[in-house]
Structure 1
Amino acid sequence: MVSCIFGTYWLRETNVDSNVLPEHVKNNIRKAQLQKKDVDDIDITTKQTTQDLIDAWKDEFAKFIPSSRITEADKSKDVTSMKRKLDKPLVFVLDQKIGDQSFYLLPQGKREEGETLRQCAERVVKEKCGNDIKVQIFGNAPCGFYKYKYPKPLRNEDSVGAKIFVYFARYSSGQISNSKAKYQWLDKLELEKTWPESYKKSLLPILFD
């Protein structure tokens, strides 16, 4: 029995008069020719449709005007706004007093008895920023730590320094509602210019660029 594909190939190569072929072979040949025509038509239509889409996308892209990355907060150098430096991650820092000096550092606080480190981090965010702000803290384990010694006047036999455990958190929604909070949103380069030497040496490497 001759298959459809072999039938059309054999007829084309040998130039046999189709009238001498059995009727069922001629029927198979006609079916194969119709199927090939349908496939060719589909291929042409598909190519045309794809090209139409590509042309439409090119036209749409040519008309697209991207928004400026320079915001009003950038122009006014408002470091309290998150709507600045849109191409860089910003880090929230608070004005905090260490001894008799003030620095813009990550929000921090003392762990209370019975708290896990994560629970402490969640509480500190609320205490420092107010109840309106929502953040997502990643993981139960800290991503890094920083340790330092207290200024000499603050040291005693039981405590000479502190170890700060750091958690990654992402801002979700809300506003800083603590009216006493003095804060800034800074990128990594700005933090490098702001943080004390030992502090940035420990914490800058764990931040995203």
Structure 2
Amino acid sequence: MARLIDLQDPLNSDAYSEQNLEQPQTKTSLFCLWMKMSLIQPLLTRRGFSTSSQNLVASVLFERLPVVIPKIDPVVYAFQEFSFRWRQQYQRRYPDEFLDKSDARGKGDYQIDYVPAPRVTEADKNNDRRSLQRALDRRLYLLLYGKSYGAPSGKPVWHFPEKVYESEETMRKCAESALKSVIGDLSSTYFVGNAPMGHMVVQPTDDQSRSPSFKRFFFKSQVIAKNKYNIEKCEDFVWVTKDELMEYFPEQAEFFNKMIIS
């Protein structure tokens, strides 16, 4: 009658007789089998993943890129003008017949009366920070005024578009949901990369001793071909430059100054 043998126990008296143990080849085979099972057994067990009660928050730095070229510094402009004159002085000249033909081109053509758009807009004059038509040569960042996760006593504060991580596939998906809940549509936005541009650990204050600490991850997104958004789910909003942004976060000014390079 056949019996089942436990191979994980090479020293089982029921599995192997004393006669088989006396043979050198059998002893070597048993030792090798025991070693293999010792190495494989931990791999067969289910891995345990560490869980933490610490909450994760995804915030979005929604920025509008410069619309016009920034003004050139006077020192840089003087150097560029000097370099141009230097090249003009020592450049290789073409024969006159080539220059005459090239000069003849375009004669008699009409001239277009071109008036460049002003660099300083009405929003700049009125300091209207709710408008995207301001600081055209600077980057602007969207800030919301309302309830924010971790705010003391649930009071409204200035913050970036945010969302607490729940069951999203990635933190970037969570950031996309945060921005979508504010502007409604992501077709005119572009998220830069999948990884966050920075993160910070927020510790509870003395008034929030019972509240747990949480981690806030910042993702960058950019405005694409749009001059106005219908901002929702907030009491107020502003579009501010990097320098103006520090006025709203005086305690985290050093952190944001390092994270926002441009």
User: When the two structures are superposed, what TM-score results if normalisation uses the length of structure 1?
Assistant: 0.65
1:48 aligns with 2:113: no
Correspondence for 2:144 among 94, 103, 106: 94
How far apart are the structure 2 equivalents of 1:142 and 1:179? Answer: 24
Match for residue 28 of structure 1?
Answer: none
CA contact (8 A) 1:148 1:163 kept: yes
Q: 2:118 aligns with which of 45, 65, 68?
A: 68
Structure 1 match to 2:214: 162
> Which position in structure 2 is the counterpart of 1:187?
241
What's 1:112 paired with? Answer: 166
Distance 1:203 1:96 in 2: 20
Find the aligned partners of 1:44 and 1:81 in 2 and give their Cα distance. 54
Q: Which AA in structure 2 matches 1:168?
A: K
Deviation at 1:114, TM superposition (A): 4.0
Structure that is richer in helix per residue = 1
Q: CA RMSD in A?
A: 3.1
Residues 47, 133 of structure 1: alpha-carbon distance in 2 compared, 3 angstrom cutoff: same
Q: Which amino acid in 2 is paired with 1:204?
A: N
When normalised by structure 2's length, the TM-score is 0.53
Paired residue total: 162
1:45 to 1:85, Cα distance in 2 relative to 1, 3 A: same
Distance in 1 between the 2:100 and 2:250 partners? 63
Shift of 1:204: 2.1
Distance 1:84 1:91 in 2: 12
| Residue from 180, 185, 196 that aligns with 1:142 | 196
Report the 3-state secondary structure (helix = DSSP H, G, I; strand = E; otherwise coil) of the residue aligned with 1:147: strand
User: Structure 1 CA distance, aligned partners of 2:171 and 2:102?
Assistant: 56
> Per the alignment, in what secondary structure is the counterpart of residue 73 of structure 1?
helix
Q: Identity of counterpart residues, as a percentage?
A: 24
1:46-86: CA deviations, max 9, x gaps? Answer: 22244567999xxx79x754322111111221111010011
Give the distance between the partners of 1:162 and 1:49, measured in 2 at CA: 72
CA contact (8 A) 1:145 1:203 kept: no
CA contact (8 A) 1:146 1:203 kept: no
8 Å contact from structure 1 (residues 129, 181) kept in 2: no
Distance 1:129 1:145, change over 3 A: same
Deviation, structure 1 residue 95: 1.1
